[in-house]
A and B are shown apart, each in its own frame.
Chain A
Amino acid sequence: MEALAALLLRDMRLAVRVGGGALVGVLFFLIVVTIVPLGVGPDLALLARIGPAILWIGALLASLLALDRLLAADHDDGSLDLILTGRAPLELAVAVKALAHWVTTSLPLVIAAPALGLFLNLEPGAIGAVALTLLVGTPALTFIGLIGAALAVALRRGGLLLPVLVLPLTIPILIFGVSASNAAIVGPVPFGAPFAILAALTLMSLVIGPFAAAAALRHGLE
């Protein structure tokens, strides 16, 4: 247990240190949310309509791009081998790493989302809904991305393979995140239904992610 807590703190400290790259994700999020209105045009009504989707897609891409930081650095300097041979169960160890990754990479996105919502002309209620769905949904993105990160490390292949493998699995989260946000804004479907499904997807990913990632690491690094 202490080992896991130490791992959590270590990962979080490394992420925010110089070279950790945690806050670069927020910068990327900002850039993506800026690019879309420049491409789509300044029609404020249109931006308000597609605002939740833009924020969700931006968060998805930012999470995806940050994934190689999850395991690759530890693999390169040998810490991953230590984690594999340590006493803590590998599933819990990777889950803790994913948690640290979420806190340092995705939670800043959730915090930045309301400010970016203003750029997209979203109402306060809409901003609140999007932020809440991001808060509940981004852990799923991280934990599913964990599977891809583990596979990429085990196979020593990077590039676009990792996003290609992970993205189809994250599509349902995107669908329900945006659906819940729009339900809160427009109705007629009540917010609770898609939000509950989003929460269920996250809970499932909290289990499936670590188990699949641990299996990938064990089979790949033996």
Chain B
Amino acid sequence: MALGPHAAFIVAAYAMSAAVVAALVVWVVVDHRAQMRTLADLEASGVRRRSDASRQAAQ
């Protein structure tokens, strides 16, 4: 697969796109973990959401 005389530009375009997509995926995954961790900490310290409380009362 020969990329011709302008190979550097083609590679740069694909590399930057891959980097941006990877950054988006990392952002989504890391943010998810951070929120889940914070939620676990808050629940461990005893705070409850109103709908959790009503669900527990209904059980």
| Chains A and B directly touch (beta carbon < 8 Å) | no
Chain B positions within 8 Å of A, measured between CB atoms, are none
